[in-house]
Amino acid sequence: MKNIDSFTHVRGESLYVDDLMLRQDVLFGLCFDSPKAHGKIKSVDYSKAEALKGVIKIFTYKDILGENQIGGIIQDEPLWAEDEVHFWGQPIAFIVAETEAIAKKARALITIDIEELPVITTAKEAKEKGSFINAPRSFKLGDSAKTFADCEYVFEGETFSNGQEHLYLETQGCYAVPQENGSIKLTSSTQGPTAVQKTAARVLGVPMHKIEVDVIRLGGGFGGKEDQATPWAVMAAVAVQYLNRPVKFMLNRHDDLRMTGKRHPYSSFYKIGLTKDLKIKAFEVEFLQNSGAAADLSPAIAERTLFHACNSYFIPNVSTTVYSCKTNLPPNTAFRGFGGPQGMFVIESAISAVADKIGIDRRQIQEENLLAENDEFSYGQIATQVEAKNTWFSAKEKFQFEKLEDEVFAFNQENKRFTKGISLMPITFGISFTNTQMNHARALIHIYLDGSVGVSTGAVEMGQGVNTKMLQVAQSVLGVSANRVKIETTNTTRVANTSPSAASSTADLNGKAVEMACKSLIDRLRKVAAKMLSSEEKNISFQEDFVYLDAEKTALSWEELITQAMAQRVALSENAHYATPIIHFDKTKEKGHPFAYHVYGTAITTVTVDCLRGTYEIDAVKMVHDFGKSMNYAVDMGQIEGGLAQGIGWMTMEEIAYGKDGRLLSNALSTYKIPDIFSAPKTVETIPLETEGSEWAIKKSKATGEPPLMYGIGTYFAIQKAVKAFNPNYKLKFHAPFTPEKVLMGLYEK
Ligand code: MTE
Ligand code: HPA
Ligand code: MOS
């Protein structure tokens, strides 16, 4: 089935927040934010701005009737700054005016006096100064410290991976409309409608039932709207509460880049120990996560870094620790992979460093240590249905790795102007929210009088195709054709208390709830049909809009059955709740079974480096990916290619830069480069590894949202190989992204 949004997307008819019909009395909001990264607010002069014609009101923390607090995991973030600012771009006030242009003019008229305080921009500096978000977390397996003594090769090193801007096409925004009796409807571009509802209620000081959040779809979220869509919606809600007029607030690109958090940069220190036969026996890492000025999702992201610190390898003695370091950057947040990629970059770097030291290819170490059935992860989960070796060896065989490697070698023998590099990148990614409590979802299904069906869930469509998957589930269980089923907007009034659409788990959690609700409806309808056909329930099934008896099509159509069911006063609506069984995690021991299942895969990447310019092209990325039993290859392949491109961008060209004063320097698309068609791999090939799937995956179709991003990590190491092939003196560095500037320096390093 095609993505059900493709028709309206291609015609430009799909609706986003910015497309909504506005009420006649609408006003427009704009944020006034801190022009310094750290300091005490001595005074702010709003008088000139307030005097501007068309400015309705400028809101500050003083106008908040509830709590000035938007922190989720930790209550450490005000909606609007009070006496201090902690990052450049921190919201201080909210200008509401008749037009956006007037609000912009007003913003330029506000003057602020800030007594500056010392600014921390790096995690290392934060650690030195003892500036943390919370206590560190550690995972341990075996005894790494003792084991190093028995290792033939022991190596220590440092890595850095930079942040990443989400760059969703649709910027953050919300349209807030007053309803009756103090209720407010927020149409928000959020992955977490309940987070918006809960936080708005808290800041406004009203019960949650006064706030309705509706989400049509997102022009991309990528994690950037899991938590950070909330403040903008809440600001608009505060204004609506006071003015009783609709308020629209869409961030322009510059404001969005400056004010929102990104993927966390990490500085990491590792120690790795191997035996003579290349078995990794011990691994220790200290991860320094640059969390920014408030917690946001950092503690959860830090946790996932620990979960993925060994990637696809079994290491019997592990000790990993992560520090969430508080700095004066915008609070960093969820980004596809959720800390996993940062963890995986370190083990892959460590493997490269040791391989270089020993004088072998890194893939020999990778291959020796791949995860096998019943291996224990450092967090206590026992690996089952493991496809690490399967995808690795399938990739090598199906894509003729040895031949590719020979070609690279031969090319490098003959060429100096250009050199090639090749790498293998295995991935293992755990599916479930790492926070067990969050793994639940609900669905509400209505069968209407005419047999058409409306499906509501907590799933947010952000381009990943979850609505198409929800439709497939409903359609297949009900046995009706696709055009009978409509996927409704995501709305807190229809489906309440939802987890955000995240952790690649949206289709699994919400799909299982849809399946349960549809099954209940079908059970009821089966009774009606059995009676009508004078048969028993067990002989009845539903297919292609007809009732089947003993697997034979009858004359009883779906519509007729629904009419009959209605006449017999049978309930044609159903609500279901799904909570993933089997998962658990004990934070006091840091052990448990946090993931419903894992997704596996292996990518082979080849690149060509221009040794005069330092530029490079990605020749090909060839992947064998574990889809389980994909319920929609069109959608899933889209996720593979999109995730890969995003991972390549993170590893090669997307370079976030802050000044020492904490100002974002890469604050526009002229200074922040993301992959375009020219930097995409010339060839992208994906071979599905058809496996049994997992019973916890919806229709045994494994999650595909985040895992493919990590195939992009292979690019870093392929480029590194090519640089080394040109310049044997090059000392391996693990400092992503590997920009052309760094490549050029590496090529000519003495
Ligand atoms: N794909 C598109 N097109 N747009 C997005 O915003 N977000 C990614 C991934 N793929 C995203 C995407 C992230 S971060 C996650 S967690 C998953 O989709 C969320 O959707 P899922 O749970 O349905 O996989
Ligand atoms: N992934 C994504 N988002 C989350 C998670 C997770 O594991 N936990 C809390 N929010
Ligand atoms: Mo995705 S980072 O879990 O929204």
Residue 135 lies in a domain: no
For residue 599, the model assigns a pLDDT of 98
Three-state DSSP class for residue 197: helix
Atom of ligand 3 nearest to the CA of 191: 4
Quick one: 404 and 444 in the same domain? no
Quick one: 190 and 334 in the same domain? no
**Is ligand 2 within 6 A of the CB of residue 503?**
yes
Quick one: 84 and 231 in the same domain? yes
Considering every ligand atom, which ligand is closest to the CA of 168? 1
Considering every ligand atom, which ligand is closest to the CA of 217? 1
- The CATH number assigned to the domain holding 187 equals 3.90.1170.50
- Exposed e or buried b per residue across 84-108, where buried means at least 16 C-beta atoms within 10 angstroms of its C-beta: ebbbbbbbbbbbbbeebebbebbbe
Considering every ligand atom, which ligand is closest to the CA of 460? 1
Quick one: 101 and 219 in the same domain? yes
Rounded CA gap, 391 and 531, in Å? 51
Share of the chain above pLDDT 70, in %: 100
Is it the case that residue 690 has pLDDT exceeding 90?
A: no
Give the tens place of pLDDT for each residue, 572-587.
999 999 999 999 999 9
Atom of ligand 1 nearest to the CA of 220: 6
Atom of ligand 1 nearest to the CA of 469: 23
**Is ligand 3 within 6 A of the CB of residue 227?**
no
Give the end of a domain, one of 579, 605, 634: 579
**Is ligand 3 within 6 A of the CB of residue 79?**
no
CB 309 within 8 A of CB 138: no
- SS percent in the chain: helix, strand, coil, step 5: 35, 25, 40
Phi and psi at residue 559, in whole multiples of 5°? Answer: -60, -45
Give the end of a domain, one of 197, 215, 250: 250
- The CATH number assigned to the domain holding 549 equals 3.30.365.10
Residue 13 lies in a domain: no
Q: What number is the average pLDDT over the span 312-335?
A: 98
Active site annotation includes 641: no
CB 101 within 8 A of CB 676: no
Atom of ligand 3 nearest to the CA of 706: 1
How many structural domains compose the chain? 3
Residue 296 lies in a domain: yes
Rounded CA gap, 427 and 514, in Å? 30
Phi and psi at residue 96, in whole multiples of 5°? Answer: -115, 125
- Exposed e or buried b per residue across 607-627, where buried means at least 16 C-beta atoms within 10 angstroms of its C-beta: bbbbbeebebbbbbbbbbbbb
Rounded CA gap, 622 and 616, in Å? 18
Three-state DSSP class for residue 79: coil
Atom of ligand 2 nearest to the CA of 499: 10
Facing residues of 177 across strands? 185
Considering every ligand atom, which ligand is closest to the CA of 646? 1
As for ligand 1, residues whose beta carbon falls within 6 Å of it are 220-223, 336, 462-464, 466, 501-507, 639, 642, 703, 705-706
Quick one: 618 and 695 in the same domain? yes
* Concatenated DSSP letters of 550-574: TTEEEEEEHHHHHHHHHHTT---EE
Q: How far is the CA of 190 from the centre of ligand 2 (A)?
A: 15
Residue 552 lies in a domain: yes
Quick one: 732 and 615 in the same domain? yes
Give the tens place of pLDDT for each residue, 254-307.
999 999 999 999 999 999 999 999 999 999 999 999 999 999 999 999 999 999
Q: Whose CA is nearest to atom 7 of ligand 1?
A: 222
Q: Is 442 left (phi over 0), alpha (psi -120 to 50) or beta?
A: beta
Phi and psi at residue 650, in whole multiples of 5°? Answer: -60, -40
Phi and psi at residue 573, in whole multiples of 5°? Answer: -120, 150
**Is ligand 3 within 6 A of the CB of residue 336?**
yes
**Is ligand 2 within 6 A of the CB of residue 583?**
no
Pair of tokens at residue 79: 């909606």
Rounded CA gap, 380 and 576, in Å? 32
Quick one: 468 and 610 in the same domain? no
Q: Is beta strand 247-250 parallel, antiparallel or unpaired with respect to 27-33?
A: parallel
Q: How far is the CA of 508 from the centre of ligand 1 (A)?
A: 13
**Is ligand 3 within 6 A of the CB of residue 56?**
no
Considering every ligand atom, which ligand is closest to the CA of 195? 2
CB 639 within 8 A of CB 464: yes
Is it the case that residue 601 has pLDDT exceeding 90?
A: yes
Q: What single DSSP character describes residue 52?
A: S
What is the residue range of 90's domain? 21-117+172-250
Considering every ligand atom, which ligand is closest to the CA of 499? 2
Rounded CA gap, 235 and 252, in Å? 16
For residue 545, the model assigns a pLDDT of 98
Atom of ligand 3 nearest to the CA of 223: 4
Give the tens place of pLDDT for each residue, 70-97.
999 999 999 999 999 999 999 999 999 9
CB 440 within 8 A of CB 475: no
Residue 2 lies in a domain: no
**Is ligand 2 within 6 A of the CB of residue 595?**
no
Ligand 2 site-directed mutation target among 297, 332, 498, 706, most atoms within 8 Å of CB: 297
DSSP H helical ranges for 505-661? 506-532, 558-567, 633-652
Rounded CA gap, 500 and 189, in Å? 12
Q: How far is the CA of 502 from the centre of ligand 2 (A)?
A: 6
Q: What is the mean pLDDT of the chain?
A: 98
- Active-site annotation holder among 180, 706, 741, 749: 706
Q: How far is the CA of 127 from the centre of ligand 2 (A)?
A: 25
**Is ligand 3 within 6 A of the CB of residue 338?**
yes
**Is ligand 2 within 6 A of the CB of residue 300?**
yes
Residue 139 lies in a domain: no
Quick one: 553 and 640 in the same domain? no
* C-alpha dihedral, 718 to 719 to 724 to 725, nearest 10°: 70
**Is ligand 3 within 6 A of the CB of residue 462?**
no
Q: How far is the CA of 544 from the centre of ligand 2 (A)?
A: 38
Q: How far is the CA of 339 from the centre of ligand 1 (A)?
A: 15
**Sheet with strand 440-447: strands edge to edge:** 485-487, 453-457, 440-447, 573-579
**Is ligand 3 within 6 A of the CB of residue 334?**
yes
Q: How far is the CA of 298 from the centre of ligand 1 (A)?
A: 19
Give the end of a domain, one of 579, 604, 626: 579
For residue 470, the model assigns a pLDDT of 98
Pair of tokens at residue 723: 């640089």
Quick one: 83 and 203 in the same domain? yes
Residue 598 lies in a domain: yes
Quick one: 573 and 593 in the same domain? no
Q: How far is the CA of 504 from the centre of ligand 2 (A)?
A: 9
Quick one: 630 and 725 in the same domain? yes
Q: What single DSSP character describes residue 209?
A: G
Give the tens place of pLDDT for each residue, 359-399.
999 999 999 999 999 999 999 999 999 999 999 999 999 99
This prediction's pTM: 0.98
Residue 14 lies in a domain: no
Q: How far is the CA of 706 from the centre of ligand 1 (A)?
A: 7
Burial of 422 (0-12, 13-18, 19+ CB in 10 A): buried
CB 459 within 8 A of CB 467: yes
- Closest listed residue to residue 369, CA positions, set 353, 348, 343: 348
Between 633-652 and 340-358, two packed helices, what is the crossing angle to 10 degrees? 60
Quick one: 216 and 107 in the same domain? yes
**Is ligand 2 within 6 A of the CB of residue 354?**
no
Distances (CA, A) of 407 to 68, 401, 414, 723: 62, 10, 11, 16
Atom of ligand 3 nearest to the CA of 334: 2
